[in-house]
Every structure is written in structure tokens, then in C-alpha cells.
Structure 1
Amino acid sequence: MNFTKRSFYIFAVIILTIAADQISKVIVRANVIGRTASQPSERIPIIGDYFTLMNVENTGAFLGMGSDLNPALRIVFLLVLPILVLGLVLRHILKDKSLDNWSLFAFASIIGGGVANVYDRIVYGSVTDFLFIDLGGVFRTGIFNLADMSVSAGMIILLFVSFTQKKKA
């Protein structure tokens, strides 16, 4: 493979996404008391009760989905399938030279976030989630991490790019 500026850009976004996520998780694991069977996670207010930091180990996927699957299915759906999809997406963005920089950034962010969470599942058996937003009942999230934010931001950017390209056509 010819390593171009474009390839460098893709891998830089992926690596920076993984690094930011993993560094944030190391800090949270070391400094925030995690949830146990008998005790809830420590809640540290960042912006009052609206934005809080906690430490929750998620054995499933998004919002804990899949955590109750049997071990074989969890390996397939939470490790094997994501690795295959992330690999195919990476192959696609490296080969498709027609993608604009925003789409490359979005796909690379999705890949970086996905790899970071898959890494956690392989190394720790769970994914460390630690951010929570509650705007007083108006808007409330599940507990998430920087990898989740990268995947979500990437999806939003892809939707935005898709809509703007359809308008131009």
C-alpha cells in the first residue's frame, strides 16, 4: 500500500481517537471508585448534576445491550463481528479515493472508537464508561465514554455529509 498524506490522515485520526479514549479510561479507573455489586459508582459532578463523571464497567455494547447473552454469542456479537466490520470499513476508506475529508474523518472516528472499545473487551472483559448527562428530565443519556462519543460524532458527520451531498445533486 502506498502510504500517502490521505492514509496518514486516516491513521492519525484513528490512533488519536484510540489514545484519547484509552488515556481517559486509565485516569477514570485510577481515580473514580467504580460500581460494585453492593455499591453504586462514585458520582463526581463536572457541571452540577447535569454532567457527571462515574466509573461503570459495561460487559455489553451500547447501553449494556448484549450483556446477558451467553459467552459464545457475546464473543461473536461484541468481538468478532465488530472487528470484521471495522476492518471492512477501514479497507473501504483506504480504497475509495472519492471520499471527502469530512467523510474520512467520520469513518476514521468510528473505526478509532470501535477499536478502542473492542480493545477494552479483549483486555478487561468489559468497557469502562464514565460520562453521564442529565438535563433535568429534558434530556438524559446512558453512561458513555470518549470512544462512544467518537462513534456517535462520526455517524452524525456522515449523516450531515450525506444530506448536503444529496442537496447538491
Structure 2
Amino acid sequence: MNRNLFITLLIVFNIAIDQISKAIVRSNMIEGAAGEIDVIKGYFQLIWVENKGAFLGMGSDMNPTLKLIFLLILPTVVLGYVIYYIIKTKELDRTSLIAFCCIVGGGIANVFDRIVYGQVTDFFFIRITDSIKTGIFNVADLSVTTGMIMLLFSGVFTKKKKTTVA
């Protein structure tokens, strides 16, 4: 498959899965704890919340100008650069390429929400114990996190070719 087509399809797939899941949540759930769905009793719940900030609601109380800069403009510039980087850098191994596509797809999906809705729809919650639990997150967050973990593993387990100078 053509490399740029692969990149495009993988990014679009990440955006689509996220947006479809959010549309299902918005149309079928009640917002907040009252609409909580216990998927795996006590460990995995669906709880629909609208996040006006970034990760775990950080920045939700920023003034509108700072929100525009830090939650829309800066992420858009960074995502644009990452897209440029993955298209231009032909030496990326497949794992790193997939990882960057997941990060970009998830990032675009959340930026899209901020532009269209002014907030991001979150709905997954995992509780292992009372002290080990996640914040409420969405598929885009999962894509970004998966991409970051893949990049870490790729960096640790991929041996770089060393060139020797004679």
C-alpha cells in the first residue's frame, strides 16, 4: 500500500472510531453519574462527561484567550508538524509510524470536539482499586496514549543502525 495512503487511512480511522463512539454516547446516555453504566461491576464504567479543559479537565478554568492558545492553536500547530514529520521522514519504522498516526488521529479528534462543541466528550472510567483509577477519558485519549506507549517501546526495542566513519 502507498505509504501516504496508509498514513491517511490510519489517521482517519482513529478520528472516525472516536467520533462514532462519542456520537453514540451523546445520543444514548444521560450525562453525569446519574447515567453511569457499569460494564464490569466496580471496575469499568461508562460515565458521560463534557470536559472543557484538557487532560483530566486541566485548564478548564483558564480564560478564553488562554484556552484558545493552549487547547486549540498550539495543539493544531503541533499536530500539523507531526503530520509533516511522518510524511517527510521515510526512515520511520512501522511501529513508530503507526504510533504517530494514532497520536495525530486522537489529537485531531479532540481538537475537532473543542472547535465544534467547545468541549470534549469523555466516557470511559476504570477503577482497579480505590487508589488506582483513571480519570474519565475517551477513544481519542486511548489512541494518543497507545501511540505514546508504542513510541516508547519502539525507541527501547528498535536497534538503531550505527554508521562507522573510517
TM > 0.5 fold call:
yes
Note if 1:25 corresponds to 2:22. yes
Per-residue deviation at 1:167? 7.9
Note if 1:102 corresponds to 2:102. no
- Across the two proteins, how many residue pairs are aligned to each other? 162
Note if 1:157 corresponds to 2:157. no
Per-residue deviation at 1:136? 2.2
Note if 1:148 corresponds to 2:153. no
Per-residue deviation at 1:99? 0.1
Using the alignment, how far apart are the partners of 1:102 and 1:11 within structure 2? 16
Structure 1: segments with no counterpart, 5+ residues: none
For 1:53, what is the secondary structure of its paired residue?
Answer: strand
The runs of 4+ residues in structure 1 deviating greater than 6 Å are none
Using the alignment, how far apart are the partners of 1:91 and 1:78 within structure 2? 20
Once the two structures are superposed, what CA deviation does each residue of 1:37-63 show, in whole Å capped at 9, x if it has no partner? xxx441101111200001100000000
Per-residue deviation at 1:168? 7.6
Which residue matches 2:6? Answer: 9
TM-score, length basis structure 1: 0.92
Structure 1 letter corresponding to 2:14: T
Alignment of 1:1-169 (within 5 A): 5-35=2-32, 40-137=33-130, 139-166=132-159
Is the 1:60–1:66 Cα contact (8 Å) retained in structure 2?
yes
For 1:60, what is the secondary structure of its paired residue?
Answer: coil
Per-residue deviation at 1:139? 2.2
For 2:35, what is the secondary structure of its paired residue?
Answer: coil
Using the alignment, how far apart are the partners of 1:8 and 1:19 within structure 2? 16
For 1:142, what is the secondary structure of its paired residue?
Answer: coil
Structure 2 letter corresponding to 1:12: L
Per-residue deviation at 1:67? 0.4
TM-score, length basis structure 2: 0.93
After alignment, is 111-120 or 157-166 more displaced? 157-166
Give % identity. 56
